[in-house]
Structure 1
Amino acid sequence: MEENKNYTSPTPETENDEFEIDWMDLLRRIIAIRKPLYKAAGIGLVLGIIIALSTPKQYTVSVTLAPEMGSDGKSGGLASLASSFLGGSSMGNNPDALNAALSSEIVASTPFLLELFDTQVQTLDGELDTTLVAYLDEQRGSWMGTVLAAPGMAIGFVKGLFTEESDTIAILNPFQLTKKESQKVESLRKSITADIDKKTGITTLSVTLQDPKVTAMVADSVVAKLQQYIINYRIAKAKEDCAYLEQLYKERQQEYYDAQQRYARYVDANKSLVLQSVRTEQERLQNDMNLAYQVYSQVAQQLQVARAKIQEEKPVFAVVEPATVPLLPSGTSRKIIMLGIVFFTILGTLAWELWGKIYWNDLKNELQN
């Protein structure tokens, strides 16, 4: 009982003192290992400078488009206008199977990227004026990519010593690409992206490459090809209908001319005769001529509607933000890369000196025992 009376519970002041002592002990331990930390900071600084300088600059160009999202099926278009003037019926407006909402899939497709290979580009310093597919070979690889690709490059070099190079120029085959062509397609697929706002239909195209002028030229080419790609698809069906009606119009026109000639020749040959059989044959030929004219007239109306439909189906693209040559690189700056490497080097050294060595020594002792 006396021991219980003499016992006193720890006060908050005592707990705080112990907590402060722990922090002070940690601070003294850090000060004690300041020399390894200085060495780690120096090594991290050197590594940071090497990695930052070996990481190529990237430039990004963004283009904003506001495309027309397809027909709504309402009257008032050129085709409806032409149909009303000509007395015919308008051709139906079907929903588009391909519109601007698929821009991201279009720019990532292999056929679309292969069409960009022949795009003429020029670097900002003017030293390189070539095609995009040739420029991709001139781009610098990142330090990590170079390290990972080193074994493959060594194997390829050894293989090249035992194989003869062909002087023939390979023809681009979209159905079966070579390994090098496939790698360039994948590189472009990562460099070109399209984001669509589903509510407003605004499309943002982004291109990221290592030269600012090349990036702007490629972005402008992507916009033009994407517009033409969608336009060609949208008017393809209307063009097919128009071509069919053109052929049908010529056939019905020739049939009407033939019926007209037959009627005229028969009337000229029997104009002095008043026989009933002559009148019956003349009436039959006249009916054939009138029927051929009606069919010919209807096809002519449909042809005019189809011609107007081609123009009506062309989508309208408003370039809200055009492509311009960027002045500053995008992505993580070299200063941030360098400071980040120095920070993580110091942090790793600190963790090793304070806790890593202890656990490592304990592990070695357990293995020895």
Structure 2
Amino acid sequence: MTENKNYQNPDVQEPDSDEITIDWMDILRRIYAIRKSLYKAAGVGVILGILIALSIPKQYTVTVTLSPEMSGDKASGGLASLASSFLGGSVSSGSNDALNVTLAPDIVASTPFVLELFNARVQTLDGKLDTTLTAYMDEQKKPWWGYIKAAPGMAIGAIKSLFSEKTDSVPTAINPFQLTQKEAAKVASIKQAITAEVDKKTAMTTITVTLQDSKVTAIVADSVVAKLQQYIVDYRIKKAKEDCDYLEQLYHERQQEYYDAQSKYAHYFDSNRNIAFQSVRAEQERLQNDMSLAYQVYSQVAQQLQVARAKIQEEKPVFAVVEPATIPLQPSGTSRKTILVGVVFLTICCVGAWKLLGIYLWKSLKKKA
């Protein structure tokens, strides 16, 4: 009986032939073989890295943190409530404020808000430039590739100017409804430099401004905070001001009516003091009632006016500045050393990938073609 030498134990499996094995030594040998190319790539990367790092202008970032004042319990302990309690009235405890604190980013990014910053005065740290924000944006430096991208547009503009009639341009007010191309570009650049974020849990508002001069950045951040506060304050007290103006007008009208009724009563009383006719007494009583009624209306309007005046003052505080704007000492963003190292590393990786894989794949495609 012969033994079957081809018999295999079913429990013993052959190794999977599709398993990929990596020969690290072979990869190291291939990398060592192209070391001269990698050295050249590193040299080119150093040159490119220096050019790119020096071309990117320094930028400074200023962050301001604001804490909004919650108005939910104002009515129960504010000035309006205090005035109303003294005058015998009452105020509503509800607050239906359409301007929520979470809208601060939308307000800062709105075109009308940005246009209000155009004429904000700024000054560079070295004191060489003292101008408006919109003029300073034209003075900011660009990397060399930015000028390359803008070259076609500048050439087209120069050609158009040759065929257009030159007229003395008179500066006109900016129309937010119809911006020119230059104005729209400045609005977009300022929007990119100014951002606002709101923490939904704490309702803390963070405003960030990034520009190329540290002092200008701090001035713009402070201006943004001031204008945002004023914007929200104006909105919050707008309705209270309208109510106060209306009550002011109504107050003077009711006051004049009371004075007229008082004058009529006094004149009639003096003229008929010694007359005992019943008709005279009836007319005197009627005039006295008119005077009393006019005084009651006048007194109620006066009370409401005092409450409205207190409500304007109550609505004014909106934000408390937790972290004010200060001139930064160090630039923000990616450092030049990091840019240099990153460009060198990327150049070496690209050359190495081409030498190790790219050439092989290129030759395979040429053979198939």
TM-score (norm 1): 0.91
- Equivalent pair of 1:99/1:230 in contact (CA under 8 Å): no
Query: How many aligned residue pairs are there?
Result: 358
Aligned partner letter, 1:251: E
- Equivalent pair of 2:41/2:347 in contact (CA under 8 Å): yes
Q: Which residue, 310, 315, 318 being the options, matches 2:317?
A: 315
How big is the shift at 1:163?
2.3
Q: How far apart, in 2, do the equivalents of 1:3 and 1:143 lie?
A: 74
Secondary structure of the residue aligned to 2:208 is strand
> Residue 15 of structure 1 aligns with which residue?
none
Secondary structure of the residue aligned to 2:64 is strand
> Residue 123 of structure 2 aligns with which residue?
122
Aligned partner letter, 1:295: V
Q: How far apart, in 2, do the equivalents of 1:176 and 1:352 lie?
A: 52
- Equivalent pair of 2:71/2:95 in contact (CA under 8 Å): no
> Which deviations, in whole Å up to 9, do the C-alpha atoms of 1:182-209 show, x marking residues without a partner?
1111111111111112222211111000
Aligned partner letter, 1:117: F
- Equivalent pair of 2:54/2:336 in contact (CA under 8 Å): yes
Secondary structure of the residue aligned to 2:76 is coil
Q: How far apart, in 2, do the equivalents of 1:225 and 1:93 lie?
A: 27
Moved more, 38-47 or 304-313: 38-47
- Equivalent pair of 2:76/2:93 in contact (CA under 8 Å): no
| Structure 1 residues 159 and 101, CA gap change in structure 2 (3 angstroms) | same
Moved more, 257-266 or 243-252: 257-266
| Structure 1 residues 25 and 267, CA gap change in structure 2 (3 angstroms) | same
Matched, 1:146 2:147: yes
Q: How far apart, in 1, do the equivalents of 2:236 and 2:104 lie?
A: 14
> Residue 78 of structure 1 aligns with which residue?
79
- CA-based RMSD of the aligned residues comes to 2.1
How big is the shift at 1:99?
3.8
| Structure 1 residues 273 and 42, CA gap change in structure 2 (3 angstroms) | same
Q: How far apart, in 2, do the equivalents of 1:154 and 1:4 lie?
A: 83
How big is the shift at 1:74?
4.2
> Which deviations, in whole Å up to 9, do the C-alpha atoms of 1:301-329 show, x marking residues without a partner?
11111111111111243221111111111
> Residue 242 of structure 1 aligns with which residue?
244
Q: How far apart, in 1, do the equivalents of 2:187 and 2:209 lie?
A: 14
Q: How far apart, in 1, do the equivalents of 2:142 and 2:167 lie?
A: 26
Written as runs of structure 1 = structure 2, the 5 A alignment for 1:211-360 is 211-360=213-362
Q: How far apart, in 2, do the equivalents of 1:366 and 1:56 lie?
A: 48
Secondary structure of the residue aligned to 1:75 is helix
TM-score (norm 2): 0.91
Q: How far apart, in 2, do the equivalents of 1:91 and 1:229 lie?
A: 25
Moved more, 166-175 or 224-233: 166-175
> Residue 202 of structure 1 aligns with which residue?
204
Moved more, 242-251 or 87-96: 87-96
Written as runs of structure 1 = structure 2, the 5 A alignment for 1:155-166 is 155-166=156-167
| Structure 1 residues 9 and 34, CA gap change in structure 2 (3 angstroms) | farther
Moved more, 166-175 or 295-304: 166-175
Q: How far apart, in 1, do the equivalents of 2:89 and 2:7 lie?
A: 110
Q: How far apart, in 2, do the equivalents of 1:317 and 1:118 lie?
A: 24
Any unmatched runs of 5+ in structure 1?
12-17
| Structure 1 residues 355 and 257, CA gap change in structure 2 (3 angstroms) | same
How big is the shift at 1:164?
3.5
Relative to its length, the structure with more helix (as a share) is: 1
Q: How far apart, in 1, do the equivalents of 2:166 and 2:340 lie?
A: 42
Q: How far apart, in 1, do the equivalents of 2:97 and 2:66 lie?
A: 19
Q: How far apart, in 2, do the equivalents of 1:220 and 1:281 lie?
A: 68
- Equivalent pair of 1:192/1:207 in contact (CA under 8 Å): yes
> Residue 107 of structure 1 aligns with which residue?
108
Report % sequence identity.
Answer: 68
Q: How far apart, in 1, do the equivalents of 2:13 and 2:81 lie?
A: 94
> Residue 136 of structure 1 aligns with which residue?
137
How big is the shift at 1:158?
2.2
Any unmatched runs of 5+ in structure 2?
none
Moved more, 327-336 or 68-77: 68-77
Written as runs of structure 1 = structure 2, the 5 A alignment for 1:12-51 is 22-51=23-52
Q: How far apart, in 2, do the equivalents of 1:91 and 1:308 lie?
A: 14
